[in-house]
Structure 1
Amino acid sequence: MIAQLGMYDRPGTTEANDHFYSMFRKALGRGPQALDRTTPLWDGWRSPDLLLSQTCGLPYREELHEITHLIGAPDYRNPGCPPGYYNSVIVVRADAKGQRLEDFHGQRLAYNEPESQSGWGAITTYAAARDVRFGEHIGTGAHVNSARAVHDGRADVACIDVLSWRLMRRYDAYTENLREIGRTEPTPATPYLTGRQNDPEEIAAALETAIAQMGAETADILSIYGLSRVPHDAYMTLPVPPKP
């Protein structure tokens, strides 16, 4: 069996994720002894042995809805978002002259991956609504790399999911040299998945128990305060953006 919580697993959250998973495993009564941090996420998501993982909304609607069960999405208590939803923060360097995305027309966008709702899908929708086009698209592989690219002057704009941004602001000092110029519309947050061989209701119940019992300190570190049963259709009705 494979259990992963890799979406927000980073220095500062590792121990909290381990504790959260241990509470889930205890509630479920089975599962790997520890989280898998070596299997690539796409391999884990596609594995017939998947017990628990978390993905982004775009991979779910492009492919994973066909081979996994949707469990639900965490309630991150994101400002301006319903439970189980999130959005993205558009960031630029603190000394940049523009105050809104329209001021960065023709400039360089850093994005994490083309399969990311928060880093690519959200900004394409937001920019199109404002008739903004970027002069260059720079793939970085991770939200933290996109923020660093803007900080270092290799890009001018990045779009980072609100929870990743919250963690960066907490743990990464260089973000003091970045500032926010906008937020995208809320969309369903990063969902929990399980393999088709598992009972999704059983997995959901174990997650709800783990969230209730993991303690306030772990909840605050991970910003997880509940499990929202966001429906399948809420993910599937969003557009699939064109590739960079």
Structure 2
Amino acid sequence: MTASLPMYDTARTGAANDRLWQLIRNGYGAGPEALDRHSDPHVTWEDPGLVLSQTCGLPFRTGLHSRVHLVGTPDYGVEGCPPGYYRSHIVVRATDPRQSLAEFDGAQLARNDRRSQSGWAAIEAHLAEGGFGFSFAGRTRDTGSHLNAARAVSEGAADLAAIDAVTWRLIQHNEAAALDLRVLVSTRPTPGLPFITALGRDPTPLFTAIKTAIAALAPADRATLLLKDIVQIPAAAYLDEPLPPPETPCTAKKCTP
């Protein structure tokens, strides 16, 4: 059996996530003693022994939805969003004179991962739905994490980044790079990062165990994790979101200035 909570697991939140997992495990009555922090989450998500993990909306709707059970969606109380929903904040350097996203046509986007809803699909949907007439496809610097994307913008290695609103709050609380950045605009709300389990498991007892565990968390841990509750969002709400444009795989020369 395996379990992981990789999406908002940082040096600051790790201990609180461990305590959350112990409460979930005790309530559910099964699962590994410790969270897996070493395996590639994209592999873990499809492990037949998966008890619980948290994935991203884009991998979920591009195929994972048919190979796992949706358990529920954590609610982080993101401002301006329904329970369980979140959005991306498009951040730029505080000193950048450009005041509208339209002025960033031709700019370079720092992107955590091409498989990310918040870091990639959300900003591309914002451009398409707003009729901006351009895309950042082919003009990205892939950084491996939202924090690294924020740092790339802060340091001038990229012009802007789309940052998950929950991660942005964590960055604001803990990272000096946030002081060099400002939010240019925010995308519309989309379903948040869902909890999943293997197809061989009934998701209902897990939902109950998670809900009970969140309520039992110490207030300090809930504050650290920014966690309010777990809600049920239908899989269809994830699948209805648009996919980002296809990309030609980037070379280092093409994608890195």
TM-score of the superposition, structure 1-length normalised?
0.97
| Equivalent-residue separation in structure 2 for 1:101 and 1:12 (angstroms) | 32
Matched residue type, 1:147: A
Q: Indicate the SS of the match to 2:182.
A: strand
1:74-85 alignment to 2 at 5 Å? Answer: 74-85=74-85
1:200-215 alignment to 2 at 5 Å? Answer: 200-215=203-218
Shift of 1:215: 2.0
Number of the residue aligned with 1:34: 34
Q: Indicate the SS of the match to 1:160.
A: strand
Q: Indicate the SS of the match to 2:76.
A: coil
1:107-122 alignment to 2 at 5 Å? Answer: 107-122=107-122
1:56-205 alignment to 2 at 5 Å? Answer: 56-128=56-128, 129=130, 130-134=132-136, 136-205=139-208
Shift of 1:91: 0.2
Matched residue type, 1:157: L
| Equivalent-residue separation in structure 1 for 2:151 and 2:15 (angstroms) | 24
Matched residue type, 2:29: G
Number of the residue aligned with 2:19: 19
| Equivalent-residue separation in structure 2 for 1:49 and 1:13 (angstroms) | 25
Give the unaligned 5+ runs of structure 1: none
Larger CA deviation: 122-131 vs 162-171: 122-131
Q: Indicate the SS of the match to 1:176.
A: helix
| Equivalent-residue separation in structure 2 for 1:201 and 1:136 (angstroms) | 42
Q: Indicate the SS of the match to 1:240.
A: coil
Task: Detail structure 1 runs of 4+ shifted over 4 Å in the superposition.
Answer: none
Matched residue type, 1:154: A
| Equivalent-residue separation in structure 2 for 1:226 and 1:13 (angstroms) | 17
| Equivalent-residue separation in structure 2 for 1:132 and 1:90 (angstroms) | 16
Shift of 1:131: 2.6
Superposed CA offset, 1:120-165 (max 9, x none): 0000011222334447221111111111110111100100000011
Shift of 1:114: 1.2
| Equivalent-residue separation in structure 2 for 1:13 and 1:28 (angstroms) | 22
Q: Indicate the SS of the match to 2:45.
A: helix
Superposed CA offset, 1:174-199 (max 9, x none): 21001110100000000000001111
| Equivalent-residue separation in structure 2 for 1:148 and 1:243 (angstroms) | 26
| Equivalent-residue separation in structure 1 for 2:166 and 2:126 (angstroms) | 19
Number of the residue aligned with 1:227: 230
| Equivalent-residue separation in structure 2 for 1:235 and 1:166 (angstroms) | 23
| Equivalent-residue separation in structure 1 for 2:133 and 2:84 (angstroms) | 29
Shift of 1:66: 1.1
| Equivalent-residue separation in structure 1 for 2:140 and 2:186 (angstroms) | 19
Give the unaligned 5+ runs of structure 2: 248-257
Alpha-carbon RMSD? 1.1
